[in-house]
Structure 1
């Protein structure tokens, strides 16, 4: 039985991968690492998932997300120009 899910997202002119698939009901963490200082990608936020985090260059930032509800939840940069999504599957 899996006790925790985790995903690593590289922030470099966008998000890679841009789609994260998780299982419902298993605690999850997303770790964002910004490797490029260009553009507005120095923040990541998701009102739907309840986080807003600054992304210092080359410093991994981990957020814990709630996976109790199935669905698709977006995240984006501070200016909402670049986005990705978390898909929580039942």
Structure 2
């Protein structure tokens, strides 16, 4: 019986494990895993603009900084940022966008709206008042 013990038992165990794994993947109740924030596309943070209204983009200010970033904007398309600061553990307690004269305080856990219209294409860096030590990026097409 040594042949059975050394060869057949491991093969049976492997077959049983494969059957269990494949059965778990075929249930109707299973659903795909939710993507992490880093895996979610940046479009998820933006709502399409209705004609005549600015495009609304939700931004969170977390311990990781301004999220999501980068975000693509269109030159000449009005934008309304809705920023919510969720941490006190960084210096990002405001948003500074020098090119548009924006320097707006972000109180903890309160959404703040900031509106502007990008006038130039390229990389637009925004961030905290400490020299944008914590920053985010808009790519303007």
Q: Which of the five TM-score ranges fits, normalised by the shorter chain?
A: 0.7 to 0.9
The residue aligned with 2:127 is 76
Kept in 2, the 8 Å contact 1:19–1:86? The answer is yes
* Structural RMSD (CA): 1.5
Higher helix share: 2
Structure 2 residue aligned with 1:29: 80
Query: Is contact 1:24-1:88 (8 Å) kept?
Result: yes
Does residue 17 (structure 1) correspond to residue 58 (structure 2)? The answer is no
SS state at 2:119 partner: coil
Deviation per CA, 1:18-54, whole angstroms, max 9, x where unpaired?
Answer: 2121112221111110011112111110102320011
Partner residue of 1:57 out of 108, 129, 136: 108
Q: Which has the larger radius of gyration?
A: 2
Give the corresponding residue for 2:55.
Answer: 5
Query: Where in structure 1 do 4 or more consecutive aligned residues deviate above 3 Å?
Result: none
Normalized against structure 2, the TM-score is what? Answer: 0.58
| Conserved? CA contact 1:20–1:86, under 8 Å | yes
Return 5+ residue gaps in structure 1 as ranges: none
Q: Structure 2: 5+ residue runs without aligned partners?
A: 1-49
| Structure having the larger proportion of residues in strand | 1
Aligned positions, number: 89
